[in-house]
Structure 1
Amino acid sequence: MSGNESAGTAAGTALADGPGGETMVRVADLHRSYGTGAAAVHALRGVSFTVPRGELVALKGRSGSGKTTLLNLVGGLDTPDSGTVTVDGTDLSTLGENGLLALRRDRIGFVFQSFGLIPILSAAENVGVPMRLRRTAAREREERVELLLALVGLADHAAQRPGELSGGQQQRVSIARALANRPALLIADEPTGQLDAETGLAVMELLRAVVRAEGVTALVATHDAQLLGLADRVIELSDGGITET
């Protein structure tokens, strides 16, 4: 572990419960703006909340309310202007780029609206990519891929490429890929945005099921009211602030 990562763990423990504790995500007085002066866009204005370990928490709000900005900050893909984000006991502000890369690789799984699968790879190969990057042994990787494809209901589609799968099936592959390295936190940004209502509901139900089966915490942004009912808790964003929890 690098010095930055060690410092991050120590500082994060002071703010959260630490690995194995009750809080997975702690956001404190988070601000993020883009641009300067009169043209500045205030994406987040003093946002604070916690996400207990093992819960599926939904973020709702209109386009431009700050959902994606918030997810990017929690996932270590962006840096706040002020405030802190603590994930699994680690204060992200104490991590250097290598520490953030390690956190995203080992502790956080991402599911995006656009699927983001590699077209020339099969479903199984796509799921295995994060483990290859982590240099997981081949046998362990193959067993994990088989288990995850079964978990998302695609055991019979392992050899198919993304272009041979439906939109819902592709999103299931992306969920399996996000779980490859056994993350503590799953972040999903409008994961059903490109799907029809029935398929979107099935994907959201799958997300809820994998939270239980894999023991992960999930933070999911969605504008679909039907899907919000599957969350343990809903946080509403409006104009960069929390209006309801």
Structure 2
Amino acid sequence: MVVVEDLHRTYGSGASAVHALRGVSFSVPRGELVALKGRSGSGKTTLLNLVGGLDAPDAGRITVDGLELGSLGESGLLELRRDRVGFIFQSFGLIPILSAAENVGVPLRLCRTDPREREERVALLLALVGLADHAEQRPGELSGGQQQRVAIARALANKPALLIADEPTGQLDAETGLAVMELLRAVVRSEGVTALVATHDATLLGLADRVLELGDGEIVEHGAAPALHA
């Protein structure tokens, strides 16, 4: 589903240059949830931005769902982000004046989905994330965990092949964060999507199929997720 080959990304030049990624390579099979761990500055966000087509590498190749990103023009990358990739951010990124249902429906409106089909998809997704009874509430009326659930539903609106989540539980308490991560894992299973999730929480890593650890822009460890203990 995702193939990354010898990826390099540097910001700045000369003595002040920051080498965010140094020859990163890995692959993610379809339907797998892979967690990225590493200290702040290790390159996690840079890697997610590159795989999601939000930034371009200095060298290397990225293939997502059979598409080689370097061969896509700006319009091709826009279509990739709109149709094949769903993004979930730490800050939720919801539109304050819209209801939960309206926020989830934004991507479908951009694709000019038939209104009846859009309403059915929105209702299905809100039910999937356990918020069927909160459809008319605005973000300010929801808890942090509920807002992140709305953001997950919105990311799934266009049936993406890949979910990219950057510290999706970073603003949540431990219990709520674990519930959101469990929801992400359930969504990967039920919707058949692939997920690449950056997280610093050791407990959450146990819910992933596999863990990649980044250090100073390089992958320092591939491994199975640690087992969860009761």
Normalised by the size of structure 2, how large is the TM-score? Answer: 0.96
Runs of at least 5 residues in structure 2 that lack an aligned partner in the other structure: 223-230
Instruction: Confirm or deny that 1:60 pairs with 2:37.
Output: yes
Post-superposition offset of 1:33:
0.4
Q: Deviations over 1:86-127 (max 9, x none)?
A: 000000000000000000000000000000000000000000
Counterpart of 1:62 in 2: which secondary structure? Answer: coil
Counterpart of 2:34 in 1: which secondary structure? Answer: strand
Mapping of residues 34-53 of structure 1, within 5 Å: 34-53=11-30
Mapping of residues 79-98 of structure 1, within 5 Å: 79-98=56-75
Post-superposition offset of 1:187:
0.2
Structure-1 separation of matches of 2:139 and 2:190: 25
Equivalent of residue 114 in structure 1, options 91, 107, 112: 91
Counterpart of 1:135 in 2: which secondary structure? Answer: coil
Post-superposition offset of 1:77:
0.1
Counterpart position of 1:187 = 164
Equivalent of residue 148 in structure 1, options 109, 125, 129: 125
**Displaced runs of 4+ in structure 1, greater than 6 A?**
none
Post-superposition offset of 1:180:
0.0
Q: Deviations over 1:157-213 (max 9, x none)?
A: 000000000000000000000000000000000000000000000000000000011
Mapping of residues 1-245 of structure 1, within 5 Å: 24-245=1-222
Percent identity among equivalent residues?
85
Structure-1 separation of matches of 2:174 and 2:145: 11
CA RMSD of aligned residues (A): 0.2
Counterpart of 1:78 in 2: which secondary structure? Answer: coil
Post-superposition offset of 1:150:
0.2
Counterpart of 1:118 in 2: which secondary structure? Answer: coil
Post-superposition offset of 1:146:
0.2
Structure-1 separation of matches of 2:50 and 2:61: 9
Q: Deviations over 1:68-96 (max 9, x none)?
A: 00000000000000001100000000000
Counterpart of 1:59 in 2: which secondary structure? Answer: strand
Structure-2 separation of matches of 1:167 and 1:234: 26
Normalised by the size of structure 1, how large is the TM-score? Answer: 0.90
Runs of at least 5 residues in structure 1 that lack an aligned partner in the other structure: 1-23
